[in-house]
Amino acid sequence: MIEREQVLHVAKLARLRLSDEEVERMVGELSGILDHVDRIGNLDLEGVEPTSHVVALENVLRADEPRPSLPRDVALASAPEPQDGAFRAPSPQAE
Amino acid sequence: MADLEAVIGLEIHVQLATRTKMFCGCELSFGDEPNVHTCPICLAHPGVLPVPNEQAIRYALQIGLALGCEIAPRSIFHRKNYFYPDSPKAYQISQYDIPICGPGRLGDVRIHRAHLEEDAAKTIHVGASGRIHGSDASLVDFNRGGTPLVEIVTEPDLRGAAEAAEWARLLRETVRQLGVSDVNMEEGSLRVDANVSVRPAGSEELGTKTELKNMNSFRFLQRGVEAELARQRELVEAGGTVTQETLHFDPASGTLTPLRSKEEAHDYRYFPEPDLVPLAPTEEMLREAREALPELPVARIARYEEMGVPGDVALTLATDPRTAGYFENVVEEADGIEPRVLANWVTGELAAALRQAEVEGGAADSRVSPPSLAALVRFVQEKKISHGSGKIVLAAMVVEGGDPAAIIEREGLAQMSDSGELEAIVEKAMAENADAVEKIREGNGKAIGAIVGAVMRETKGRADGGEVNRIIREKL
Amino acid sequence: MTDLLDLTALEAREAMAAGDLDAAEYTAAWRQAAAGDDLNAYLWQGDGEEAGAIAVEAGRTAPIAVKDIFCTEGVPTTAGSRILEGYRPPYTSTAVRRLLEAGAPVLGKTNMDEFAMGSSNENSAYGPVLNPWDRERVPGGSSGGSAAVVAGGLAPWSIGTDTGGSIRQPAAFCGIVGLKPTYGAISRYGMIAFASSLDQCGPLTRTVKDAALLLGILQGGDPCDSTSVGIEGGVSLPDREDLSGLRFGVPKELADYDFDAGVREVFEQTLRKIEELGGEIAEVSLPSSEHGISAYYVIAPAEASSNLARYDGVRYGMRRGGDGDLIEMYETTRSEGFGPEVKRRIMLGTYALSSGYYEAYYGQAQKVRTRIAQDFAGAFADVDFVVTPTAPSVAFKLGEKTDDPLAMYLNDFFTVPMSLAGIPAISIPAGLAAPEGGGPQLPVGFQIAAPAFAEQRLLDAAYALEQGIGFDARPGDADG
């Protein structure tokens, strides 16, 4: 079961804005999913190592050799708001 | 109220001097035009993947070994999730609970851990006032984004602002001598933040700490910590409590301002980075890292102290490996003379003479060869010339190089060894300064200076001051 | 002309190599067929000119459809999302690069569930894909477009991605072959990330031999992907004639699960066919697999919540609300750019990783994952393969499950455990069955899973079974 307050908090963390209607729906849907998922909480998994890496590899590294960078115009080609060779974004809110 | 003691820990970020970034092959940038060193990876385009820079791993191992750290047999990367324009993936690849380097020590301060991570991009705030508050927009330059960093965290073992700055200098010098970073605070390749708190002296518990940022020189570091300690002391002594906050140091005013805390403290939601496999430094990597270590300042200081050189002089010598090398050559040439004396000449008289003559570079670059300095010091030690004459000879050597014996001969600086001649001159000086003699007899010991001065002038400094004093007292 | 389109990719390749087939003509025929797409399966189709950086002269290999999750330089790549509308990547994914190097022109980019999140292709911002067997039904997802083009005669073969079943399940719903290789067999560089520890590229084809051919082209370690190793020894075309000497394990837990009677019937029939071909059926136990969905729906959304955080309107893609402050821009862009399923999973994933919940959710799910991998390892000590139905039902109707996310998630029940364990699994069409509510017969998939990196043995067995079954139904056959 997830509470409305938690949904609002999580939305903030995820930088999502939900309408009141979406919040309501989310509370219901997430609660349903979490109820199902919560079952794993009851399992006795004492001593079981969590899988953090699927392939048994170590030390996969790259030589410190330069590779060509993108020409700047290509780097900025997709930018929603290029300015003076940089990516423009709004500032954090003035407080 | 019990005395409050300062408790300070440092968090240091070292930008590594590799050729390319931590996770992609873009070259590191030095004041270039914005966004000319970027690629889909460091711009976090959809579908890209990181691959770690081998040299960064090696450099991190060297730093860890230089700090006496335990090297983790296996460490992993974690994602630290947060949204900001300078963080293109909206997560920083870092290390969390299994870092590459564990506990260590440098001098008197214990190291808690050191780990690898990537640097954020640079944000320039533009707008009316040019300051972060009230600005219109951010312009982001991703050249710096992805630069390899090693973050070093100390235990809160420091007890004062000056001590913190001095230890930070030692750390800087140690890392600089490894050749793994420029460690330049003004340029940003070395960043030092301080965690500061106070507590009753003798207490084992830690007080609430504040985090100080943006001190981009050792001087500012010291001033910032001093200011914060003063503020906390005043607050606590007045019965208040310290709030945990981050304070931004303003170099212009030398004051600290709280950074407005974001709505809530960050929840970074750390989890192991699935796109990277663990690091397990091999025996060979460790051996190579160990072999790459030069003799580091702390070891050198200890060695010099063992030779009898006082700590502060040893620190000065150890700070520059070339000066240290020069000093050691002088010691070898001056077989028999106390290293303490030679150290003082190198860091004292020679340094002064070089400054006076406006000579660029240090002792090792000067015209004064180690054998000639050793010979000069021997002349003075054996009282063949006075200390003052020694300085004159040194000044000449700084300009023209050469052999002290020749210069002494040329300038006629050989110490007056004929005591009869000296006695005669002393008698004459005493006769000419009868009132001074009177004063000495009355108990004013300082008046002897006038007579000594007269003798020195007459002998052109070639007399030995101590000897002159002795003769005067004899004749009183 | 139609004869050309009947050739499998392998036949075409052999004919081109022998000089019996004009490559340009062959590719042109397919481009023409693709242009007739009435299934909403393609989001972009290209010809030589427009394809720019990914243009390759028709040569040695059959042209191919590519799921719109693979970055293709200069060519629109949307991942089925509004937030990447108009985005043209500055680079090409390794998988597509290998295809181009093999001389396979790209026919087009196929429609998919947004950011690969879905089991029906109804989560695309560009409209659902229709199942060529019945246009009122879903083709499965998230590689719905890739499956529909192959089943619907709009491409000879295609590549998709599979995170929890997104190749296998649509292959089953569309009556074609779909393979999810071992995690690490194919490079993920340039494959827009959904769940990094689960995502894998794989072939969707008409035949098992075509799947082997395509896997051979795609597999390999890539210096750009430090989790990729390729398949040691590579992959050869299968030619096994029967299944003698091979043991096939049926999880006893299947008996407890609810799935369509028609699916169950085809499954049982296929087990009998295996025995007919000389294979042995044995019982195995995978006790933790019942928790596969739970573990999957924690791990995948958690990783996704982090992987999708980069869609923030700063460097590429959609930006909305840029007149406000930074947070407003982030929130508006993401709220308008992401569809409801993506938002749901981002929320779920963020929650599972958040302070105070990590251990209970993410930590616990990763332990369940270890258990599932151990279960398979235990089973493979006794049998060569584990077999299950690919999906619990045949293709369902559009809109049938969109109101209940959990019901939709349960579609992945049989496919998720193999993804969690990182082992390879293939779905081959095994028969037809009527849907529970009645209607014309629809394809049923049979899933075979093998130990990590045992793709060759898997393909060999799948081929022999495929030949034994002789599934030759086509969409449009079952009219009336």
HEC sequence for C96-113: HHHHHHCCCCEEEEECCC
Catalytic residue among C93, C119, C158, C166: C166
Tell whether the model's pLDDT for residue A68 goes beyond 50.
yes
Does a structural domain hold residue C392?
A: yes
Q: First-to-last CA distance in chain A? A: 36
Give the least confident one: B388-397, B427-436, C236-245, C293-302.
B427-436
Mark yes or no for CB contact A10/C313 under 8 Å.
Answer: no
Task: Judge whether C190 is closer than 8 Å to chain B, CB to CB.
Answer: yes
CA gap C41, B131 in Å, rounded: 51
Task: Judge whether C348 is closer than 8 Å to chain A, CB to CB.
Answer: yes
The confidence band for B319, taking pLDDT boundaries of 50, 70 and 90, is: confident
Task: Say how far residue B34 (Cα) sits from the centre of its chain.
Answer: 32
Mark yes or no for CB contact A54/C313 under 8 Å.
Answer: no
Mark yes or no for CB contact C84/B46 under 8 Å.
Answer: yes
Find the CATH number of the domain harbouring C30. Answer: 3.90.1300.10
Q: Which helix (H) or strand (E) holds C180?
A: strand C177-180
The proportion of chain B whose per-residue pLDDT surpasses 70, expressed as a percent, equals 96
CA gap C56, C69 in Å, rounded: 20
Q: Which helix (H) or strand (E) holds C157?
A: strand C157-162
Task: Compute the average pLDDT of residues B456-460.
Answer: 82
Q: Which helix (H) or strand (E) holds C371?
A: helix C364-380
In this prediction the ipTM stands at 0.96
Give the least confident one: A67-81, B272-286, B453-467.
B453-467
Mark yes or no for CB contact C226/B276 under 8 Å.
Answer: yes
CB within 8 Å of C6: residues ≥ 6 apart: none
A92 → chain C, closest CA residue:
C326
Residue from the list A13, A64, A91 with its beta carbon closest to the beta carbon of B55: A64
CB within 8 Å of C362: residues ≥ 6 apart: B271, C298, C299, C302, C352, C353
- Please give the pLDDT value at position B474: 83
CA gap A43, C364 in Å, rounded: 9
Tell whether the model's pLDDT for residue C1 goes beyond 60.
no
The interface residues of chain C toward chain B in range 434-453, judged by CB-CB distance below 8 A, are none
Long-range contacts of B299-308 (CB under 8 A, 24+ apart): B300/B324, B304/B339, B304/B343, B307/B331, B307/B339, B307/B340, B308/B338, B308/B339, B308/B340
Catalytic residue among C81, C93, C120, C142: C142
Question: CA distances (Å), C405 to each of B121, C119, C166, C324, C342, in order?
Answer: 39, 10, 16, 33, 11
Identify the bridge partners of residue C201 per DSSP, sorted by sequence position. C161
The confidence band for C47, taking pLDDT boundaries of 50, 70 and 90, is: confident
3-state secondary structure of C367: helix
Residue holding tokens 């002998």? B459
Tokens of C145: 């477009």
**pLDDT mean across residues, chain B:** 91
Tell whether the model's pLDDT for residue B381 goes beyond 60.
yes
Sort out which chain A residues have CB atoms less than 8 A from C328's CB and list them.
90
Task: Compute the average pLDDT of residues B262-288.
Answer: 90
Which tens digit of pLDDT belongs to each residue from B50-84? 999 999 999 999 999 999 999 999 999 999 999 99
Which tens digit of pLDDT belongs to each residue from A31-56? 999 998 888 888 889 999 999 888 89
Mark yes or no for CB contact B47/C315 under 8 Å.
Answer: no
- CB-based contact C465:C243 (threshold 8 Å): yes
The interface residues of chain C toward chain B in range 253-312, judged by CB-CB distance below 8 A, are 302-303, 306, 309-310, 312
Choosing among B264, B271, B273, which should be mutated to test the C contact, i.e. which has the most C CBs within 10 A?
B271
Query: Would residue C67 show up in a list of annotated catalytic residues for this protein?
Result: yes
Task: Compute the average pLDDT of residues B297-304.
Answer: 91
CA gap B375, B369 in Å, rounded: 10
- Please give the pLDDT value at position B263: 44
Sort out which chain A residues have CB atoms less than 8 A from B82's CB and list them.
none
CB within 8 Å of C274: residues ≥ 6 apart: C243, C248, C281, C387, C465
- CB-based contact B178:B243 (threshold 8 Å): no
Question: CA distances (Å), B289 to each of B60, B62, B286, B444, C392, in order?
Answer: 9, 5, 5, 65, 56
State which residues form the domain around C149.
Answer: 1-282+374-474
CA gap B403, B405 in Å, rounded: 6
Mark yes or no for CB contact C196/B275 under 8 Å.
Answer: yes
Give the least confident one: A86-95, B144-153, C288-297.
A86-95
- Please give the pLDDT value at position C308: 98
Which tens digit of pLDDT belongs to each residue from C248-288? 999 999 888 888 999 999 999 999 999 999 999 999 999 99
Mark yes or no for CB contact B85/C77 under 8 Å.
Answer: no
Q: Please tell me the CATH code under which domain A4-40 is placed.
A: 1.10.20.60
- Please give the pLDDT value at position B73: 98
- Please give the pLDDT value at position B412: 79
Task: Say how far residue B266 (Cα) sits from the centre of its chain.
Answer: 34
Tell whether the model's pLDDT for residue B128 goes beyond 60.
no
Specify the length of chain A in residues.
95
Sort out which chain B residues have CB atoms less than 8 A from C70's CB and list them.
47
Residue B59 dihedral angles phi and psi, to the nearest 5°? -60, -40
Tell whether the model's pLDDT for residue B431 goes beyond 60.
yes
Sort out which chain B residues have CB atoms less than 8 A from C91's CB and list them.
40, 45
Does a structural domain hold residue C144?
A: yes
CA gap B383, B389 in Å, rounded: 10
Subunits in contact with chain B (3 or more CB pairs closer than 8 Å): A, C
Closest CA to B113 of B136, B94, B127: B94
Please count the structural domains in chain C: 1
> Within A2-79, where are the H helices?
4-13, 20-37, 72-77
- Please give the pLDDT value at position A55: 87
Give the least confident one: B248-252, C75-79, C142-146, C160-164.
B248-252
- Please give the pLDDT value at position B360: 81
CA gap C463, C240 in Å, rounded: 7
- CB-based contact C342:C194 (threshold 8 Å): no
Does a structural domain hold residue C60?
A: yes
Tokens of B58: 């090696």
Closest CA to C447 of C356, C386, C380, C397: C386
Task: Say how far residue C353 (Cα) sits from the centre of its chain.
Answer: 27
Task: Compute the average pLDDT of residues A65-72.
Answer: 97
What is the distance in angstroms between the Cα of C274 and the nearest Cα belonging to chain B? 38
- Please give the pLDDT value at position B129: 47
Closest CA to B222 of B137, B261, B164, B300: B164
- The CA angle B24-B28-B34, to the nearest 5 degrees, is 100
Which tens digit of pLDDT belongs to each residue from C165-192? 999 999 999 999 999 999 999 999 999 9
The confidence band for C32, taking pLDDT boundaries of 50, 70 and 90, is: very high
Does a structural domain hold residue C366?
A: no
pTM for the model? 0.89
- The DSSP result for C56-119, as a single string, is --S-SS--EEEETTB-BTTB---TT-GGGTT---SS--HHHHHHHHTT--EEEEE--SGGG--S
